[in-house]
Chains A and B, each alone.
Chain A
Amino acid sequence: MRVSLSLLIGGFLLALMLIAAAVPDWFAPFDPLVFDFEALSAPPSGDHWFGTDQFGRDVLSRTIHASRIDLQIAVFCVIFPLVLGGAIGLLVGWYGGVVDAIFGRLVDLVVTFPFLVLVIFFVAVLGPGLVNVYIAVTCVGWVPYAKLMRAEVLVQAQSDYVAAGRVLGYRMPRIVLRHILPNAARPVLVYAVTDMALAILLGSSLGYLGLGAQPPTAEWGVLIADGKNFFTTAPWMALFPGVAIVLAGLGFSLTGDGLADLLAVKR
């Protein structure tokens, strides 16, 4: 067991984000939605550390409050594909044969569609908004989890205890719960944490494009989209939410790397 520097830094960044998302009011100096017409597009100062936007809203407070939405995006964009993909991978790995062959074709097909383009396609048909983003990401993003789980089932199915379980007439749920899931947990966890970094990038990109979280919801991508027209005159409006995205992304990817090291998961 070796706790690496990656894990320490990543864990620290994630802890920051978690706390900010859990109790934003403890840290945010202002109400993120209140307009302050005395300080429109004000540069960073003692009062407003990150400055204010064109309506005089405090950028720091909005960035802190947005962490709640972006954390939600990171978790939901991973947990739903994980559950769906995990279940599919489990069934495919367990039953094999024709099911597996069809699965293989399906995977080959899905990977030819650029992930973002496919998600955008789904969001286009379903309509913009976070719920539809989750549906879209689940429909598209289950594939790697299914592949991971299938591979794990195939490995475990070779093992003596699963063979013994089959001989003893144990039913699939029991074998799956007792042996396959515990073994699959480590690689899936590592992949999921790393995937959350990508989810943050995807969610904020969709927010930026106007397809994800809808204003006035404070979401980092939306904040940057709001601020982009003022980037030359009031760069702080977009700059700081961007830094938040980078730090959150780093937090997840470093934690993922560190966990991979710690749990000795090959990638």
Chain B
Amino acid sequence: MNRGTWLLGRLAQIVPTFVMIGVAVFVLARLLPGDQVSAMLGERASDDTIARMQAQLGLDRSVFVQLLDFLAAAVRGNFGDSMSLRLPVLQVIAERLPVTLALMAIAVVLALSIALPLAFVAALNANRWPDMLIRTIFQIGLSSPVFYIGLLLLTVFAAGLRWFPVGGYGDDWGEHLYHLFLPGLTLSFSFAAVVMRNLRAGILAVLTAEYVDFARAKGLSAGVVLGRHVLRNALIATVTLVGLHVGALLGGAVITETVFAVPGVGRLMIDSILARDYPVIQALTLVLAILVSLAFLLTDLVQMWLDPRVGR
């Protein structure tokens, strides 16, 4: 098979995935017990009000028609209005999504800059003290809840040393970066631990490969051997795992944003739940799932770029 065909096929897969996600969100919202309308209107709403609300939401029609309606509306980006914010859901999410994406991007960059060098140090000293020390620290990091790490960093570096703001987002790019640094660091720990663990194992597996010995036999410097021959092959296995971890990263973002009062979609999710704002919750679940499936797509593309054998 030709790589171009493979690529097109992979890109085309995203369409049924989106549809499936839409159906799943719809089914979840309908299947779960609990009457949304009375939950939204409160216990004392009259039957009449409830009926009007149901008609307004289209809940009086057949489930199948509702599903098609929901999907069609979702394609147009029409998720209705937020009950608590009195704004179109799409607008609410569109305002907050970039914040979360920026937070995740900072976390990923920080995690990679922590994990990449440490993975090399650990692998090149396998089972000696630097390796043991690095692995122990990351093991503790993996066992620490995100909100706890966040609180500690917040107390020490923001409230205590006043190096960083205690929360918020700021008004321009510089301020965004400044405000999101601590939350990003908080979020990066578990991600760094996952990358470190896998990359270390990957590097160890690759270090004894024949092509690495051959690269040495060519007289390449240690830097070229590690950076070009070892890292690239070790990354191939790591990239897949990193992709699978994006969902966990989003979950971590929900908590981090709550701790640092970052106005992103994670914080929005929690606020909406506490306000029983179902249209927002439903749309957010959909958007976040789509985000993850896009991350999977990106993973596959990176994989294809790293490994010429993919798709052939």
What residues make up the interface of A, taking CB atoms closer than 8 Å to B? 105, 108-109, 111-118, 120-127, 197, 201, 204-205, 208-211, 221, 224, 228, 231-232, 235, 238, 242, 245-250, 253-254
Contacts and interface: CB of A to CB of B under 8 A. Distances in A.
A111 B241 CA distance: 13
A181 to B, nearest CB: 28
Interface string B271-284: 01110100001001
Contacts of A124: 272-273, 276, 281
B139 interface: yes
Interface stretch (B60-68, B147-155, B220-228): B147-155
Contacts of B250: 114, 116-117
Given A113-B289, A250-B139, A120 B254 contact: yes
B159 A205 contact: no
A228 B151 contact: yes
B1 interface: no
A114 B288 contact: yes
A209 B143 contact: no
Contacts of A108: 17
Contact of B139 (A116, A228, A253): A253
27 contacts: A105-B20, A108-B17, A109-B20, A109-B21, A112-B296, A113-B21, A114-B246, A114-B292, A117-B269, A120-B254, A121-B28, A121-B281, A123-B273, A201-B143, A201-B145, A209-B258, A209-B270, A221-B145, A224-B148, A231-B155, A232-B160, A238-B151, A242-B148, A245-B143, A246-B143, A250-B143, A254-B139
B273 to A, nearest CB: 4
A117 B251 contact: yes
B9 interface: no
A121 B285 contact: yes
CB-based closest 8 A-B pairs: A116-B251, A249-B143, A114-B247, A124-B273, A114-B250, A242-B148, A125-B32, A250-B143
Nearest to B284: A117
A264 B38 CA distance: 54
B155 A235 contact: yes
A113 B247 contact: yes
Main secondary structure of the interface of A (DSSP, over half): helix
Contacts of A123: 273
A126 to B, nearest CB: 7
Contacts of B284: 117
B42 interface: no
B298 interface: no
A127 B276 CA distance: 10
B254 A245 contact: no
Contact of B288 (A113, A204, A224): A113
A265 to B, nearest CB: 15
Contact of A112 (B148, B152, B155, B292): B292
A245 B149 CA distance: 11
Interface in B256-312: 258, 269-270, 272-274, 276, 281, 284-285, 288-290, 292-293, 296
B206 interface: no
Contact of B34 (A125, A204, A254): A125
